[in-house]
Structure 1
Amino acid sequence: MRRRGFLLAGLGATTLTLSPAPAGMHAASDGPPAHRLHAGSRLLFVSGQVPTDADGAAPEDFDAQCALAWDGVERQLAAAGMGLRHLVRVNVFLARAGDRGRERALRRARFGDCVRPSVGVIVTGIYDEDWRIEIEAIALA
């Protein structure tokens, strides 16, 4: 579809490399941050990864859709020299509340023994009615 082609063309990731903080700038003093940024840290913002194959088709099966969306996240991470262990925040958008438990189980299986990031799950309408999941993420290396 034309809309999908347009949307798929914009999917990707943006990397931000941090420089040393200016003199006089300090971290918050009320406790350590969950993920400390250091000079030279790289933040990767992965835009919404959708459950489509190379032809833009989405399978009907939720497990297959979930796998495609996570495959997209992992491709973006790999392109930046990162992996699942670098994820610090993930937002999962689901079209159906009934998919929450299955999504959690599939995500945990994919992560295995990796340190798990903070995850937000939002049940909402998604751009294409055939899609049951979309994933966006932030990674830190």
Structure 2
Amino acid sequence: MPRLTFRNPPGVHSTGGRYSHSAIVEGAERWAHFSGQVGTRPDGTVAETGEEQCAVAFANLRALFADAGMTPANIVKLTVFLTDPALIPAYRAARAAAFGEGFAPASTLLIVAGLASPDDKVEIEAIACA
């Protein structure tokens, strides 16, 4: 198992949230880049609300991690796209529910005008190593 160290070093502003400024990886043999996951369930239906879409996107990521023989502990970085800043609390709650309160990898959160489908309100990408 690689050693992941998440850092918020002196000389850089506080993150003010559940993420780290840097992720240092030592000893990784495998890397996985997971495509952006949206609020589409395995049966092809799209969750209606932004809150539901956040939960479904994280469930999709967990399924991808399992398929790759990984867990959320292998995550190095998340990139999150939301179409409305009002979804930030729902995103944070869904992340905590999926990965735990202490989960704080390197992360980027963007508010965007739209995603590939007009029904999508959230998309989450992940990079992981093992």
2: CA distance, partners of 1:110 / 1:54: 17
Pairwise mapping of residues 48-127 of structure 1 onto structure 2 (< 5 A)? 48-112=36-100, 115-124=103-112, 125-127=114-116
Q: Is the contact made by 1:85 and 1:114 (CA closer than 8 Å) also made in structure 2?
A: no
Root-mean-square deviation (CA), in Å?
1.8
Deviation string 1:66-94 (CA, Å, 9 cap, x unpaired) is 11111111111111110011101001111
> 1:114 Cα shift?
5.6
Superposition misfits of 4+ residues, deviation over 6 angstroms: none
Q: Which runs of 5+ in 2 are unaligned?
A: 1-21
Deviation at 1:63, TM superposition (A): 2.0
Asked if 1:47 is matched to 2:35, the reply is yes
Counterpart Cα distance in 1 of 2:101 and 2:116: 33
Q: Which runs of 5+ in 1 are unaligned?
A: 1-32
Structure 1 counterpart of 2:92, one-letter code: R
Residue-pair matches, total: 108
Shift of 1:51: 0.8
Alignment check: 8 A CA contact 1:84 1:114 kept: no
Structure whose CA Rg is larger: 1
Query: What's the secondary structure of 2:94's corresponding residue?
Result: helix
User: 1:40-84: per-residue Cα shift (whole Å, max 9, x none)?
Assistant: 611110011111123422121222111111111111111111001
Q: Which residue of 2 aligns with 1:132?
A: 121
1:9-24 maps to which residues of 2 (within 5 A)? none
The answer on 1:35 being equivalent to 2:24 is yes
Q: Alignment identity in percent? A: 35
CA distance in 1 between partners of 2:51 and 2:101 (Å): 21
Does the 8 Å CA contact 2:34/2:64 hold for their aligned counterparts? yes
